[in-house]
């Protein structure tokens, strides 16, 4: 269902599935408090609204200096023009009412969340990305951004949009989603929802929209608290990509964080990484109760089902035999403003599976 509010809201407006579900309360002028956790197997079930919860926060004092993945970043004023790389960063700004600051996007992982779709459609830079992959530095600098906001550290490298320090000469600040930090001193180990909320707060501080950030965190915490973990002791394989060797959600990243919340045991939790290879032999030995399929335009959930059912070895997995699949869109698999929705959605899909007691 499309949003009814066609334009980006003021900086103090919270955007998110939880706020959308409070439509009736907003219409009659009441403060919205999200109590429902009604995500379905698509994001179209949310009813559009905006939250009017008021939170008292202080204005950002500039220049603002941050330690971001071990790189000192100084922002002299709230960025007015931003290039985002990866869907998670684009959606973060949209959720904070900052869509009009985006002058370029790149490396999208799929369509934006439904509850952000109207705001995204209003910005040509989001509708038509600068590049489907990581853009070159020259293409980024042509847009004259104040800030480049990247979802992965590797996006800002010699093989990507350019090393972070190379932007200094052009007075362009860089910021990487902290959940993606690779240095052992900065990498979340394990990633938690507190880390996700901390990024929302920090981005709010960078853009001097701390009130909007606080409201979004408050709303998402309420939604997260409403998720009821499955108590059947089920195990799951989070299958992202790969045919000969599956690439799966491992033990310290967003997949593990989400599975912990919904009450699933990750059969690949012993892999000490965010994502990693997991042989089919290991998957067969684990025989997970459920398989979570990442749905990406370049590697769809249906193609994964075809592979699982067409391989004589994996075709005998219990989850494959019983068609116990849960599907999650790729952009929701990375830490960001869609992480709570991912937990709600997986919980809803899981509750619909009838699994006999073992």
What residue ranges do the domains of the chain occupy?
A: 64-190, 235-351
The angle formed by the CA atoms of residues 63, 139 and 86, to the nearest 5 degrees, is 70
| CATH fold match for the domains 64-190 and 235-351 | yes
Say if CB 149 and CB 84 are below 8 A apart. yes
Q: Which of 23-37, 124-138, 241-255, 330-344 has the lowest mean pLDDT?
A: 23-37
Rounded to two decimals, what is the model's pTM?
0.86
Confidence of residue 356 (pLDDT cuts 50, 70, 90): confident
Q: Which one, of 192, 174, 216, lies nearest residue 75 by Cα?
A: 174
The pLDDT of residue 169: 94
The pLDDT of residue 160: 96
- Superfamily of the domain at 235-351: Nitrogenase molybdenum iron protein domain (3.40.50.1980)
Instruction: Provide φ and ψ at 125, rounded to 5°.
Output: -70, -25
Confidence of residue 357 (pLDDT cuts 50, 70, 90): confident
Confidence of residue 83 (pLDDT cuts 50, 70, 90): very high
Using the predicted structure, report yes or no on whether residue 15 has a pLDDT greater than 80.
Answer: no
The angle formed by the CA atoms of residues 149, 92 and 87, to the nearest 5 degrees, is 70
More confident residue, 168 or 42: 168
Q: Which one, of 104, 109, 96, lies nearest residue 136 by Cα?
A: 104
Percent of the chain at pLDDT > 70 equals 84
- Superfamily of the domain at 64-190: Nitrogenase molybdenum iron protein domain (3.40.50.1980)
Using the predicted structure, report yes or no on whether residue 46 has a pLDDT greater than 80.
Answer: no
């Amino acid at each position: 269902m499309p949003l009814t509010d066609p334009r980006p809201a003021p900086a103090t407006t919270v955007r998110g599935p939880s706020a959308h579900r409070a439509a009736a309360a907003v219409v009659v002028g009441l403060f919205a408090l999200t109590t429902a956790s009604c995500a379905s197997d698509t994001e179209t079930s949310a009813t559009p609204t905006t939250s009017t919860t008021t939170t008292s926060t202080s204005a950002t004092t500039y220049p603002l200096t941050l330690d971001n993945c071990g790189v000192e970043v100084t922002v002299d004023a709230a960025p007015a023009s931003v290039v985002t790389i990866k869907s998670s960063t684009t959606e973060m700004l949209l959720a904070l009412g900052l869509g009009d600051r985006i002058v370029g996007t790149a490396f999208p992982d799929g369509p934006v969340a439904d509850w952000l779709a109207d705001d995204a459609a209003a910005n040509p830079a989001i509708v038509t990305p600068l590049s489907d992959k990581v853009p070159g530095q020259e293409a980024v600098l042509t847009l004259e951004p104040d800030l480049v906001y990247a979802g992965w550290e590797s996006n800002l490298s010699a093989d990507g949009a350019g090393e972070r320090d190379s932007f200094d000469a052009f007075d362009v600040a860089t910021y990487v989603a902290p959940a993606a930090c690779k240095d052992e001193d900065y990498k979340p180990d394990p990633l938690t929802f507190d880390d996700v909320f901390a990024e929302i707060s920090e981005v709010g501080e960078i853009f001097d929209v701390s009130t909007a950030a606080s409201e979004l965190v408050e709303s998402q915490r309420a939604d997260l608290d409403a998720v009821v973990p499955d108590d059947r002791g089920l195990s799951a394989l989070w299958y992202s990509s790969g045919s000969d060797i599956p690439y799966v959600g491992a033990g310290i990243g967003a997949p593990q964080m989400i599975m912990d919340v919904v009450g699933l045991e990750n059969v690949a939790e012993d892999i000490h990484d965010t994502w990693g290879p997991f042989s089919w032999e290991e998957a067969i030995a684990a025989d997970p109760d459920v398989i979570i399929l990442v749905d990406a335009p370049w590697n769809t959930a249906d193609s994964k089902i075809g592979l699982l059912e067409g391989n004589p070895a994996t075709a005998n997995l219990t989850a494959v035999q019983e068609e116990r699949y849960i599907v999650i869109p790729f952009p929701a698999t990375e830490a960001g403003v869609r992480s709570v929705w991912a937990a709600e959605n997986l919980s809803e899909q899981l509750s619909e599976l009838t699994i006999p007691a073992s």
